[in-house]
Structure 1
Amino acid sequence: MLSSIISSSLPVSALLTSLLFSKDASAEILQSVSRAETAFNTLQTFYNSSNGIWNTCGWWNGANCMTVIADLAVLDVSVRATAIDVFNNTYTVAPGVNPNPGVEKVSGASGVPETTYTSLWPLAPLTDLFAKPGTVNASLWLDGYYDDDAWWSLAWIAAYDVTGNEDYLRLAEGIFDGMTKGWPTNCSNGGIWWDSTKTYVNAIANELFLSVAAHLANRAENSQYYINWAKKEWAWFAASGMINENNTINDGLTTDCKNNGATVWSYNQGVILGGLVELNKASPDPSYLPAATKIADAAISALTDSNHILHDPCEPNCEPDATQFKGIFMRNLQLLQEAAPSDTYVQVIQASANSIWNNDRDKSTNVLGVDWAGPFVEPADASTHSSAMDALVAAIVAN
């Protein structure tokens, strides 16, 4: 129902609010909202208010936890106050556990995934590791890996969309400025490196660079600056060879700048979708959405099963990073669905969300696992849970 009126001049959040409080709200929308709210409450049982990160997952995963919370808060006013408290707290205390860079995730003595952070205290005065009211210090959020930096930039953009807090937007801009230091690589004199030590040219860092620039182009004052960066990145990426003959995206380039043929991960198929949707909003071009649609269709063909449920090749053993990937795809697929509606996208979102709830949920705790087709298996943690929650939130709008 909601997807059928997504072209309305009202924002999605306003449409959803009006539907939820009207007699016309469908049972499907109400069910989707209820599931997402339950997932939100469960995710918050992992939240560590003392360090602003979710226990059992790492630094970059924390940014994605915050993003999915913000995405729900845009749609559902009932969680907004808690979400805003999380943003305020994480903004203040999380820099104190920035690994800079460190070990994001290790197995503890019990075998349960835990987060290990390298303290920054020897590198800076203790008082400099926490945000001060009215100040924005983007350097506190950088850890030497441009993809990690970008996840936090997108998280603060999402928080800005909920709150209108200009500090969050300025922080996102500052993080992006740090990312520009990674341009250019040795491959056709463009793109950004994965890390500040220039060890690898990969898809995710470059897709995120595009996405952050395009998101900022629709929010920041200096829109043209970000449009120029996004266009330059997309032109380079489209010609880089990372998009293969099947229209899926491999993980990166070899040292001589050829497609390395590495795993087709779901998140590499997803981030580019949101980036192109946002770029098309900021600077419309008839090629952007068709390019995104081609990648999305290829990804769905490659990564969904006969029941239309999304998978990554590592399942069920996807620790420590790939547990996050599928939710990122779903988040961005929903952005494409809003811009270029497709029954196939709705089918994948709804099938995945329904299967997560029915087959991949610990019924006693409501924690969500990594294999969305089920059955629920351990380990399950804040990363697997927040990733699956992305699908539940996407399902609200895909009704």
Structure 2
Amino acid sequence: MDSPLRSVFHQTYMNTDMFVGGDCFDDYQWWLLGWLQVYSVEPNLDYLYRAADIYDFVTVNAWNDTICRGGIQWCPKNAYKNAITNELFLVKWQWFEASGLINGYNLINDGLSSTTETISTSHKENVNHFQDASCVNNNGITWTYNQGVILTGLALLYNSTGNATLLDIAQKIADATIQRLTYSDLILKEPCEPNCDTDQQLFKGIFVRHLAYLIPYLTDAAHIQQYKSFLEQNAESVWTSRQCERDGLYSLIWSNQSSASCNTSHNSSTTSAAWDLFVSSAKTKSLSIKSPSNWTYLGLGNCADDKNASMPNFNKMNVTKIECRTTAEQDTGAVAYDHQFGCNGIQYCRIRTSSGPHQTPQGWSYENGTTKTVTRSNKFPVTSCFLRVV
């Protein structure tokens, strides 16, 4: 690989050890998976050995039978058996399945309780197998990432064992997530919304990434289409309506039924989750990253050509992003449009067009220009440029 990533991988390896990134066993295992991914891109044995060292450390130091008859404890100084730490160590699937972590709705709760105050029904409709060992499902929050990571784990276990029951369980978890962890428009919802911390803001991206990983292993055409459509629907919602025009970042909430995207949490974590969604949808070959009306996001700023010259345009003040796009869609000469959402709340639309002044929409103004093309945006921070896809 001849890429700047090679240097990034090398520098990261040289400047970290296997305990970087956190003090708990789930933290170590995220890095383990990261190094495996790095090795798949850049096959340097140092990266594979780093992953193996982390695995050996977790195996020796994290598994204990004194609580819940097994399982990986969360941290060296915290014996809590939580779902994510054990999903990342799914080589012990028999223990995980019997633990009761998967509830009667086929969703995975946060972890196990070491008290006998609560009895949870497992997905197999049996009383928690570990009740006699004082461990039951704690009925904790069903985070979306807990429903996601296990999908890849079960798919890979199926691939190595041929046990089709594992795929059935994965599909039940994915189906339950789509049914129970979504808004009324079937757009994915994190239980903490709208008040999620920066870690929780990443969780939906993790779910959709692993849902996309699961799809190639499935043989049921109905489920395959269902999951592809789910990813596409979510991606279209986020791409077309959940980007804050002021800074180009995507919001925490993916449903367009919520308040304006600039009024909800939007930062690098929420934007990372959104791009996980776009990549996952593109991987399933259901969606190219564009809106249903064939407009693609060119970048922040006003639409211009390579010399920063502007096309003729129709323009209007106090125009919403939806009205701006709809008007551009109706103009057969429209090449691009830019929409500005100023810090004072004033919105402004310019439709870059080859149409003449006599075709100006009612209530709009016409402004002449000096070029006939749009090839870039000028990076003005409160404006977004969209290019028509031919």
Shorter-chain TM-score range: 0.5 to 0.7
Q: Distance in 2 between matches of 1:304 and 1:344?
A: 14
2:273 aligned partner: 387
Q: Within 2, Cα distance between the matches of 1:84 and 1:306? A: 44
Match status 1:243 vs 2:165: no
Q: Which residue in 2 is equivalent to 1:349?
A: 231
Hey, what does 1:183 align to over in structure 2? 63
1:308 aligns with 2:186: yes
2:3 maps to which of 78, 81, 95: 81
Counterpart of 2:143?
265
Contact 2:179 2:186 (8 Å CA) reproduced = no
Partner of 1:163: 42
**1:102-122 residue CA offsets vs partner (Å, 9 max, x unmatched):** xxxxxxxxxxxxxxxxxxxxx
Separation of aligned partners in 2, 1:88 and 1:362: 35
Q: How does 1:1-399 map to 2 (within 5 A)?
A: 81-93=3-15, 95=16, 137-138=17-18, 140-141=19-20, 143-180=22-59, 181-210=61-90, 230=91, 233-255=92-114, 256-340=134-218, 342-374=224-256, 375-376=260-261, 377-398=263-284, 399=286
Per the normalisation by structure 2, the TM-score is 0.62
* CA deviations over 1:248-289 (Å, ceiling 9, x no partner): 111111113111111111011111101111122233222211
Once the two structures are TM-superposed, the CA of residue 382 in structure 1 deviates from its matched residue by 2.3
User: In the alignment, residue 166 of structure 2 is paired with which amino acid?
Assistant: Y
- More helix per residue: 1
CA distance in 1, matches of 2:265, 2:87: 29
What code does the residue aligned with 1:159 have?
V
For residues 59-94 of structure 1, give each alpha carbon's deviation from its aligned partner in whole angstroms, at most 9, with x where no partner exists: xxxxxxxxxxxxxxxxxx9xx83444432333233x
Superposed CA offset, 1:301-344 (max 9, x none): 11122333111111121013211111110111011111115211
Residues 184 and 191, structure 1, Cα contact 8 Å, conserved in 2: yes
Amino acid at match of 1:242: L
TM-fit CA distance, 1:378: 4.7
> 1:182, CA displacement in angstroms?
0.7
Q: Deviations over 1:211-262 (max 9, x none)?
A: xxxxxxxxxxxxxxxxxxx1xx110010001111111111111113111111
CA RMSD of aligned residues (A): 2.0
Task: Tell me how far apart the structure 1 counterparts of residues 139 and 33 of structure 2 sit (CA, whole Å).
Answer: 28
- Distance in 1 (CA, whole Å) between partners of 2:56 and 2:272 is 28
Q: Secondary structure at the match of 2:243?
A: coil
Paired residue type of 2:71? G
Q: Which residue type is aligned with residue 215 of structure 2? A: Q
In the superposition, relative to structure 1, how do residues 387 and 243 fare at CA in structure 2: closer, same or farther (>3 Å)?
A: same
Between stretches 318-327 and 161-170, larger displacement belongs to: 161-170
Residues 163/319 of structure 1: CA separation in 2 closer, same or farther (3 Å cut): same
Question: Any idea what SS the aligned residue of 2:136 has?
Answer: coil
- Partners of 1:328 and 1:160 lie apart in 2 by 20
Structure 1 SS opposite 2:112: coil
* Pair 1:342–1:201, CA change in 2 (3 A): same
Contact in 1 for aligned 2:194/2:265 (Cα 8 Å) = no
Flag the 1:381–1:92 CA change in 2: closer, same or farther, 3 A: farther
- In the alignment, what sits opposite 1:17? none
Change (3 A) 1:186 1:358: farther
Query: CA distance change for structure 1 residues 185 and 83 in 2, over 3 Å: closer, same or farther?
Result: farther
The 3 A distance-change label for structure 1 pair 201 and 355 is: same
Aligned residues: 257
User: How much does 1:149 deviate?
Assistant: 0.9
| Aligned equivalents of 2:161, 2:236: Cα separation in 1 | 36
Q: What do residues 143-164 of structure 1 show as CA deviations (whole Å, max 9, x unaligned)? A: 4301111111111111122222
Mapped partners of 1:249, 1:379: distance in 2: 26
Structure having the higher strand fraction is: 2
Distance (whole Å) between structure 2 residues aligned to residue 260 and residue 151 of structure 1: 24
Partner of 2:301: none
Query: What is the alpha-carbon distance in structure 2 between the residues aligned to residue 162 and residue 307 of structure 1?
Result: 37
> Between Structure 1 and Structure 2, whose CA radius of gyration is higher?
2
* 1:246 alignment partner AA: Y
Rounded to whole Å, the distance in 2 between the matches of 1:89 and 1:208 is: 26
Distance 1:282 1:344 in 2: 25
What is the match of residue 348 of structure 2?
none
CA distance in 1, matches of 2:96, 2:65: 12
SS of residue paired to 2:89: helix
**AA paired with 2:83?**
A
Q: Distance in 2 between matches of 1:83 and 1:393?
A: 18
> How far is the alpha carbon of 1:393 from its aligned partner?
0.8
Structure 2: distance between partners of 1:168 and 1:382: 27
In the alignment, residue 216 of structure 2 is paired with which amino acid? E
